[in-house]
Structure 1
């Protein structure tokens, strides 16, 4: 969990973070998640997120940060993850005592204690059901911007409903991670924004309303549990009195809709039409601003967080920074400096040595395992360390370009831009 405070000149005046594994060891997460025994189910404990928020605000308070200067706040959350509020939780959220850290007040508020997150790939049967219900994968993409994906929230909700219908029935509201975080600050259920809502397989991206056929294919009474989506730049209301009383926020501090991490990257990078950006994170993403999208079976079209009348295109690669860190640890003694030196010591093209590195089941394309090929295109079992490092980096970036071009993206040299 990261916090950053900026002034009216956009100068950074404060930043800090809480590391889930190190700072909250009682939750016993690895990389902030639990990977279940089936290797497909991946979740995070909801109360860990709440406790991290308590912790970061207390750190700011201890450092002397003046919360009364904060005029507005917003945020970004990992896409696709979902939080399930138990019936009656709205009252507890609204009336939380400023004498207690928030995680203590909310400890019994969640019908699902471990939230499914974007790394989860356990909903293959639900994806198949959803695509069949709307007339196939391409038709689903044409409605919602993407074919059915295991990590997408609608399929996760469908799994919870099919496996634990009583838990689903006890749920009064389903938030995305972004709208969940906004809800904590708002003191009531924050709506899902158009942009993050586009990563659910549930939102009609053209009309910006929930698709009835998709909702019905996932679970009964779902529209009521999701609430109405809103533009990503909407002002949701003033901050909850809890924060004024506990930390000294001004009562009129505005809460602006939170959105997903990928849409937030497009906004933060100030992308315009024709621009392309690559975000290197836990998952790597390639994204661009687009006026007239043509949703396909690969990649995603989301509502644009900056301009609700336009769109953003997104390609997601699951084996990102965790994969790079693993090779760094194996081949460079855990040091990025050593990693960079090894990369610099080898020639571009890696003398024809090529590798595909998928520790976990990849999204683009669907593949798993480590696959190495020498200059004669023969499969080999290992590379020297410096060759391994370049094979990883070149392989990852070539994949990004190839998949972007397959989707019709024009990757041109900068000086050829019109």
Structure 2
């Protein structure tokens, strides 16, 4: 049976889905962990990603039985810097998206280029998460490694390189570098020249492939490692949230709230989006359009921390949060610094706590802290004129919490849909791979494979959520005092 493989190489793990080429039916899955990281210095060895891919692929292949893998799509965590030397070897561990140590170098770059110019030329105001900040950090802190640098890849690019031997990326992932313009589909080398005017930056960057682009054919050595026949098509791949949007088949106006290691809210747009405030990143998507995106650093780590403090599991944390009334503290959940808003030196702030505080109130504050951060992001997207009146989806591990989806519906004042899709990122990568193999438009196949809504969560009436959200915005603003600490 012909199948395609969709790969999600995230911060935490590598997940592989094998789907029937003709129908998109899920055939088998596999997963393998990545080494844990601990911001603000967050690094991983790219070899660990490759080994996890091999293990996850093997698990899926064994579970699938007699199948023929005809195409592979790779989606990966965005922004990470994978520095290679002249021989294509990794110079040092990759600095990941949630590594905020480059904040000082990023501030110098933004001052030199100008915030408006960055937004005008790349669609985004970069934060410490962006690749360009990490390149500047490398020059400032590890000059010997910077001198050896010959190729700059992103995490999904690196896995594509291991599969095909080719340096290639796509416009969605390139949008998060700080030196690519998704509207013009060109690199903005002038920003890299601010770091070093004498380097031949053009020779160091991978080719940016279109949505239906092919990175190459699976090389014999890689095929042997994966246990399949060589020659399978490797599609352009993309960023994880961009693949997730494709996997859900979202239409213009839909909002996707993703609750994972990070928190993300996105929609689709046919025209470029530029936010002078830097709240919304105007990235490219996997279909040739655009994906206005807001990403927060503090997702699962917030609820993990409060579950630990309350000595409960996540199911009990959810039950406690839903049992709370409308009184009690609110949490600005910037526990380990934040990306949106751009406050790398901030910490969390729990306000309005009294001697009468309850466990239920603390649990609700934790969940709301994550939810409200993304609701603020959705307001930023709508403020740019983007449609946000379609379906609101909640996805990711955190969306399995009843409290998360209910408090999101309460905050939005509209229903929230969930879908029975365990791995939307891997699903989106598989959609892209299948479209390339079948010669169909990526957007068309994404719509054809759109999963049905699993359930709708209605907002509760008579709740004071609007007042709590307003108080959250006041408390979050106080953390501006900690910026750059």
Coarse TM-score class (shorter-chain normalised) = 0.7 to 0.9
Alignment size in residue pairs: 371
- 2:47 is the counterpart of 1:71: no
Question: How far does the alpha carbon of each residue in 1:99-149 deviate from its partner, in whole angstroms, 9 at most, with x for none?
Answer: xxxxxxxxxx2111x110011111123223322333x11221111111131
From 33, 46, 49, give the equivalent of 2:37.
33
Tell me if the contact between 2:334 and 2:348 (Cα under 8 Å) persists in the aligned partners: yes
**Residue correspondence of structure 1 range 218-297 to structure 2 within 5 A:** 218-219=195-196, 220-292=199-271, 293-296=273-276, 297=278
Cα distance in 2 for partners of 1:247, 1:276 equals: 36
Change (3 A) 1:222 1:413: closer
**Residue correspondence of structure 1 range 318-333 to structure 2 within 5 A:** 318-333=297-312
Change (3 A) 1:382 1:280: farther
Cα distance in 1 for partners of 2:334, 2:50 equals: 32
Tell me if the contact between 2:71 and 2:233 (Cα under 8 Å) persists in the aligned partners: yes
Cα distance in 2 for partners of 1:175, 1:254 equals: 20
Cα distance in 2 for partners of 1:362, 1:194 equals: 25
Q: Compare 142-151 and 196-205 and name the one that shifted more.
A: 142-151
- Where 1:73 maps in the other structure, the secondary structure is strand
From 195, 201, 216, give the equivalent of 2:172.
195
Q: Compare 402-411 and 42-51 and name the one that shifted more.
A: 402-411
Match of 1:106 in 2: none
Question: How far does the alpha carbon of each residue in 1:342-371 deviate from its partner, in whole angstroms, 9 at most, with x for none?
Answer: 123223xx3253222222001222273332
- 2:141 is the counterpart of 1:163: yes
Change (3 A) 1:158 1:370: closer
Tell me if the contact between 2:15 and 2:30 (Cα under 8 Å) persists in the aligned partners: yes
Cα distance in 2 for partners of 1:413, 1:146 equals: 24
CA shift, 1:78, in A, is 0.5
CA RMSD, Structure 1 to Structure 2 (Å): 2.5
Match of 2:282 in 1: 301
Match of 2:332 in 1: 356
Cα distance in 1 for partners of 2:104, 2:350 equals: 32
Match of 2:440 in 1: none
Change (3 A) 1:382 1:319: farther
Tell me if the contact between 1:233 and 1:257 (Cα under 8 Å) persists in the aligned partners: yes
Tell me if the contact between 1:75 and 1:178 (Cα under 8 Å) persists in the aligned partners: yes
- Where 1:50 maps in the other structure, the secondary structure is helix
Tell me if the contact between 2:173 and 2:239 (Cα under 8 Å) persists in the aligned partners: yes
From 14, 17, 22, give the equivalent of 1:4.
17
Question: How far does the alpha carbon of each residue in 1:42-61 deviate from its partner, in whole angstroms, 9 at most, with x for none?
Answer: 21122222222233244446
TM-score for both structures, normalised by structure 1: 0.82
Unaligned runs of 5+ in 1: 21-28, 90-108
Cα distance in 1 for partners of 2:387, 2:225 equals: 51
Change (3 A) 1:246 1:168: same
Match of 1:98 in 2: none
Match of 2:32 in 1: 18
Change (3 A) 1:57 1:277: closer
- 2:392 is the counterpart of 1:393: no
TM-score for both structures, normalised by structure 2: 0.71
CA shift, 1:339, in A, is 1.8
CA shift, 1:338, in A, is 1.3
- Where 1:262 maps in the other structure, the secondary structure is helix
Question: How far does the alpha carbon of each residue in 1:293-333 deviate from its partner, in whole angstroms, 9 at most, with x for none?
Answer: 23332220101211x2x211001111001211221222252
Unaligned runs of 5+ in 2: 1-13, 392-412, 416-485
Change (3 A) 1:245 1:301: same
Cα distance in 1 for partners of 2:388, 2:33 equals: 36
**Residue correspondence of structure 1 range 144-183 to structure 2 within 5 A:** 144-183=122-161
Tell me if the contact between 1:332 and 1:338 (Cα under 8 Å) persists in the aligned partners: no
- Where 1:213 maps in the other structure, the secondary structure is helix
Match of 1:52 in 2: 52
